[in-house]
Amino acid sequence: MTMPTALSALPPVHEILQSPEGRDCTARHGHAASLACIREVLDECRQRLLAGAAGTGTRESAAGQIAGVALERLDQRHAPAMKRVLNMTGTVLHTNLGRALYAPRAVEAAMRAMTGPLALEYDLDAGRRGQRDDAVQALVAEITGAEAACIVNNNASAILLVLAALAAGRETIVSRGELIEIGGSFRMPQIMESAGTRLREVGTTNRTHLRDYESAIGPDTALLLKVHPSNYQVLGFTHETRCPELLPLARKHGLPLVDDLGSGVLVDLSRWGLPRERSVQDALAEGVDLVTFSGDKLLGGPQAGFIAGRRDLVEACARHPLKRALRLDKVRLAALEATLSLYRDPDRLAETLPTLRHLARRPDEMRAMAQAILPALAAALPASHAPGIAESQAQIGSGALPLETLPSLALRIPAPGASAERIARALRRLPLPVIGRIAEGAVWLDLRCLDDARALVEELPGLAALLDE
Ligand SMILES: *Cc1c(COP(=O)(O)O)cnc(C)c1O
């Protein structure tokens, strides 16, 4: 900051507050915070003038300048930490960037739920208390054929609740190859321990046979659990005992078979040229007693966890005291109802559901965007990092079909060695941060999930200055 004025002409605090910038500052950040920050800036000016800095300008212009500096500082300090970003990682369901985006219809429903009372646990026909999960449960039943469903905070909660309600104090049988860890601190053995069920591992890492399950069943067995390996695959000499094979065994011993599906696909993705994944309907049609899955993965809704299947088992989960602790709030329930209702018109899902729109995005659309952005990107980078358009590999993310990649298109910025991180960092420091990916001596900006190409083009001129910092 250049010194706005001489020491003797420094304006008093109340004059600074009264300047147009000072009034802006108070309007945005309140009197107390503005006053404190103006005092801070004023004090810095005083110190620097005392140390011999040369001041210019009048007392009046100084008031505006000092308030302007305070306003900028407070804008920065009070900016939300959870900034909106541009996901150009090529991972559609990026857990660190918030997974699925709400469909416009879900946004409207969430907004209604946030801003007014709603019939959340209220039966409008009878005029008395109703059940919180009813609306969503009916939709899950309609779409998947499940007898009943129970909705909780996320899929981790769903598994926790199933095990607590159906297997506490007894044994749960799981294949050793399915004792997975999913990012952060979700580890299947630990969830089981928290639920109070004893883990009975069967088989080996790569091979688990029907006879392994059979010989593990005893008087203490409460249920058989299958877990979608989600984020890895065992290749080579492997054997998995699938649900249709396990079911007769479960039936013979009167044990529920529970399948943690992870992602929770409700439609056949192959109609959009995507790899086929076993759906919730597939699992229930096989006869699996209960399935659990997420709301914010391939389903494309808010964070949520589903327990769906046999009515008596779902009811046992819904009655357990943990259900209350894990229940969903009204905003997400409303968004979930709206999201699920989109599945009644599967023909238009790729337009109405952002997750599917991104997954199904066509190469020509991505190429047109890349061409629109390229000149601005090239102009913002030194000639040594001249960007180009390149084919890339996107992925679904969040553990869905981990080895399948989707052919995608990216802006590729050649950046050998340490320059890649320098460029990636400058991109992250743009007003609307751009999150790309570093690989093979380049920074890749994948176009599959970009919705606002114009916002990117408009902010790119600011990149050059950030690269020098
Ligand atoms: C993602 C996943 C979970 C955890 O689901 P959240 O909704 O993130 O709690 C559990 N099991 C499997 C198989 C998963 O893929």
Task: Tell which atom from ligand 1 comes closest to the C-alpha of 303.
Answer: 7
User: Which range marks the domain in which residue 384 is found?
Assistant: 86-95+358-468
Asked if 170 and 23 sit in the same domain, the reply is no
> Ligand 1 in contact with 226 (CB < 6 A)?
no
Asked if 344 and 311 sit in the same domain, the reply is yes
Asked if 185 and 321 sit in the same domain, the reply is yes
- Residue 397's pLDDT is what? 87
pLDDT digits (tens, 9 = 90+) for 247-259: 999 999 999 999 9
Asked if 158 and 53 sit in the same domain, the reply is no
Look at 8 and 291; give whichever has higher pLDDT: 291
Q: Which of 163, 231, 260, 265 to mutate to test the pocket of ligand 1 (most atoms within 8 A of CB)?
A: 260
Percent residues over pLDDT 70 in the chain: 98
- Residue 237's pLDDT is what? 85
Measured by CA distance, the residue closest to atom 12 of ligand 1 is 262
Three-state secondary structure readout of the chain: CCCCCCHHHCCCHHHHHHCHHHHHHHHHHCHHHHHHHHHHHHHHHHHHHHCCCCCCCCHHHHHHHHHHHHHHHHHHHCCCCCCCCEECCCECCCHHHCCCCCCHHHHHHHHHHHHCCCCCCEECCCCEECCCCHHHHHHHHHHHCCCEEEEECCHHHHHHHHHHHHHCCCEEEEEHHHCCEECCCEEHHHHHHHHCCEEEEECCCCECCHHHHHHHCCCCEEEEEEECCCCCCCCCCCECCCHHHHHHHHHHCCCCEEEEEECCCCCCHHHHCCCCCCCHHHHHHHCCCEEEEECCCCCCCCCCEEEEECHHHHHHHHHCHHHHHHCCCHHHHHHHHHHHHHCCCHHHHHHHCHHHHHHCCCHHHHHHHHHHHHHHHHHHCCHHHCCEEEEEEEEEECCEEEEEEEEEEEEEEECCCCHHHHHHHHHHCCCCCEECEEECCEEEEECCCCCCHHHHHHHHHHHHHHHHC
Asked if 70 and 109 sit in the same domain, the reply is no
Task: Tell which atom from ligand 1 comes closest to the C-alpha of 227.
Answer: 13
pLDDT for 405 beyond 90 = no
pLDDT digits (tens, 9 = 90+) for 412-453: 999 999 999 999 999 999 999 999 999 999 999 999 999 999
Q: Where residue 399 sits, what CATH number does that domain have?
A: 3.90.1150.180
Asked if 210 and 310 sit in the same domain, the reply is yes
Asked if 253 and 115 sit in the same domain, the reply is yes
Look at residue 315 and tell me if it is in a domain. Answer: yes
Asked if 164 and 207 sit in the same domain, the reply is yes
> Ligand 1 in contact with 228 (CB < 6 A)?
yes
Task: Tell which atom from ligand 1 comes closest to the C-alpha of 158.
Answer: 9
pLDDT for 2 beyond 80 = no
pLDDT for 409 beyond 90 = yes
Task: Tell which atom from ligand 1 comes closest to the C-alpha of 294.
Answer: 7
What is the pLDDT confidence band of residue 1, given thresholds at 50, 70 and 90? low
> Ligand 1 in contact with 294 (CB < 6 A)?
yes
Measured by CA distance, the residue closest to atom 13 of ligand 1 is 262
Q: What is the mean pLDDT of residues 89-93?
A: 96
Task: Tell which atom from ligand 1 comes closest to the C-alpha of 295.
Answer: 7
Look at 232 and 345; give whichever has higher pLDDT: 345
Percent residues over pLDDT 90 in the chain: 83
Task: Tell which atom from ligand 1 comes closest to the C-alpha of 156.
Answer: 9
pLDDT digits (tens, 9 = 90+) for 285-326: 999 999 999 999 999 999 999 999 999 999 999 999 999 999
What is the pLDDT confidence band of residue 84, given thresholds at 50, 70 and 90? very high
Task: Tell which atom from ligand 1 comes closest to the C-alpha of 230.
Answer: 15
Look at residue 225 and tell me if it is in a domain. Answer: yes
> Ligand 1 in contact with 292 (CB < 6 A)?
no
Q: Where residue 325 sits, what CATH number does that domain have?
A: 3.40.640.10
- Residue 254's pLDDT is what? 97
pTM of this structure: 0.92
What is the pLDDT confidence band of residue 29, given thresholds at 50, 70 and 90? very high
The domain total for the chain is 3
Asked if 341 and 366 sit in the same domain, the reply is no
> Ligand 1 in contact with 260 (CB < 6 A)?
yes
* Å from CA of 170 to ligand 1 middle: 23
* Å from CA of 115 to ligand 1 middle: 31
Asked if 192 and 228 sit in the same domain, the reply is yes
Task: Tell which atom from ligand 1 comes closest to the C-alpha of 260.
Answer: 13
Across the chain, mean pLDDT equals 94
* Å from CA of 226 to ligand 1 middle: 13
pLDDT digits (tens, 9 = 90+) for 114-137: 999 999 999 999 999 988 899 999
Look at residue 353 and tell me if it is in a domain. Answer: no
Asked if 283 and 219 sit in the same domain, the reply is yes
pLDDT digits (tens, 9 = 90+) for 131-190: 889 999 999 999 999 999 999 999 999 999 999 999 999 999 999 999 888 766 778 889
* Å from CA of 225 to ligand 1 middle: 14
- Residue 317's pLDDT is what? 98
Q: Which of 348, 371, 388 is at the close of a domain? A: 348
* Å from CA of 29 to ligand 1 middle: 40
pLDDT digits (tens, 9 = 90+) for 38-65: 999 999 999 998 888 887 788 888 999 9
Asked if 120 and 243 sit in the same domain, the reply is yes
Measured by CA distance, the residue closest to atom 5 of ligand 1 is 155
> Ligand 1 in contact with 153 (CB < 6 A)?
no
pLDDT digits (tens, 9 = 90+) for 372-390: 999 999 999 999 999 999 9
